[in-house]
Amino acid sequence: MLKVRVIPTLLHKSFGLVKGVNFDSRRAVGSPMQAVKVYNLRNVDELVFLDVTATTEERGPDLELIDELADECFMPLAVGGGIRSVDDVRALLGVGADKVVIGTAALRTPDVVREAAERFGSQCVVVSIDTRDDQVCTKSGRVPTGRDPVDVALAVEELGAGEILLQSIEADGVMNGYDIETVARVSAAVSIPVIASGGAGTFAHMADVLRDGGASAVAAASMFHFTERTPMEAKHYLAEQGFPVRV
Amino acid sequence: MAVQRVAIVDYGMCNLDSVRRAFEEVGARPYVTDDPGDLDAADRIVLPGVGAFPDAMHNLRARGLDEALAKQVWEKGAPFLGVCLGMQLMAAVGQEVEPTEGLGWIDASCVRFVATETDRRVPHVGWNEVTPEAGSILFDGIPPGTDFYFVHSFHVVCATAEQVLATTPYCDGFVSAVRREQAFGVQFHPEKSQRWGLHLLRNFLAA
């Protein structure tokens, strides 16, 4: 049986990892290489690495850094932040990313999603949909688009996205639980996997969004950075609750 | 045992670096090449790849790699491992985008998943069980039902059971590894499947 995945999210800004609240007031939480090595030892299901200031600073992905990180990653690695073109996608896959996470560009220049899926296959194209007040935002949550998350999800599925990383800006960093309602609406509408992100504070939050939201995977950052809880403990808990996990 | 030289075939379809790193990690000497002439120096050959079947075959043919691979594997007997798209290309025909002739080493076609009520999401992404045929060298020491990492929308359908090496339960079950003599193919990503993935690569080096 296909397992539900527990995915630590690493947010990167300039020289280190950060974690904030509501996509803002981010504080430093360590070096990316150290985090990748730890998660590799801990056998996590997958890693998501997002360069959260690339797009707002109008620069592309840091290929040199991704190359180094990918060399230590014997688990799947999804990389996002600053992807503007199919050339960026090719370059990231070339240095060892298994998937790319396209955010702002998916709304601004949707052809990037289509072309990337056609050339490299849908399976490596993840589209990040960031929501606040039931509408999709771009540029790291700064620019509201007025579009409904379900409409955007259906549109990017049609373009060839293979997976959706659905992030709630309101729930981000608050650790009070995922935005189950939006996850449920999106995952019911599409037939590609949906990764729920934003709001995990306890393992029960993960179980809730898997059961009531229909998510295929749960991502978490603050919970793993700021508490003693580990991805493996999360999976043991989920196993006890009857979810298929890899332990 | 002497250090194994593993040729990783570059035909413009990416994910080469992960595969190269994983072979380094298990003590081989991998090298990436798109030159058919470079395959002569290899003890073993790996065909990785992500992307669309027609583009991949086009690229292999354009570089003369299809013939070079057939020569190395079927005339000289080089052990071969196809990974993901690389396994799918071993099939006779691919149905992605348009029907396309594959390498034709396995009597199989490559088709898209048809979602079922319980498995309704395609691509098939994540960790899932792999149950190999008993006594397989490639899976030696790996417990049956071990989870490996998958990420794909298409899968191989074999004409006969003879070339099926392993199966995985998704959308009523599919073939997750194939074998013809010393040529193996795996649909999952051993280079991304941590401990057991690296174990499988070690088995390939010894096969």
Active site residue B191: yes
pTM: 0.95
Q: Does B207 touch chain A (CB under 8 A)?
A: no
Q: How many CB pairs under 8 A join A and B?
A: 113
Chain B residue numbers with beta carbons less than 8 Å from the beta carbon of A41 are: none
CATH T-level topology, domain B5-206:
Rossmann fold (3.40.50)
Asked if residue B199 lies in contact with residue B142, where contact means CB atoms within 8 angstroms, the answer is yes
pLDDT above 80: residue A48: yes
Residue contact A94–B153, C-beta within 8 A: no
- Which among A104, A38, A51, A109 is positioned nearest to A79, based on CA atoms? A51
Measured N-to-C along each axis, helices A63-71 and A32-41 cross at an angle, to the nearest 10 degrees, of 30
Residue contact B192–A193, C-beta within 8 A: no
pLDDT above 80: residue B1: no
Q: What pLDDT shows up at residue B179? A: 97
pLDDT above 70: residue B62: yes
For residue range A57-112, what is the model confidence (pLDDT) as tens digits? 888 999 999 999 999 999 999 999 999 999 999 999 989 999 999 999 999 999 99
- Amino acid letter at A46? E
ipTM of the complex: 0.93
Chain B residue numbers with beta carbons less than 8 Å from the beta carbon of A39 are: none
What's the CA gap between A170 and A205, in Å, rounded?
15
The pair of three-digit structure tokens given for residue B174, joined into one six-digit string: 């599919």
N residues, chain A = 247
Active site residue B101: no
Residue contact A98–B18, C-beta within 8 A: yes
For residue range A133-152, what is the model confidence (pLDDT) as tens digits? 999 999 888 899 999 999 99
HEC sequence for chain B: CCCCEEEEECCCCCCHHHHHHHHHHCCCEEEEECCHHHHHHCCEEEECCCCCHHHHHHHHHHCCHHHHHHHHHHHCCCCEEEECHHHHCCEEEECCCCCEECCCCEEEEEEECCCCCCCCCCCEEEEEEEEECCCCCCCCCCCCCEEEEEEECEEEEECCHHHEEEEECCCCCEEEEEEECCEEEECCCHHHCHHHHHHHHHHHHHC
Active site residue B110: no
- Provide the residue ranges of all domains of chain B, joining segments of one domain with +: 5-206
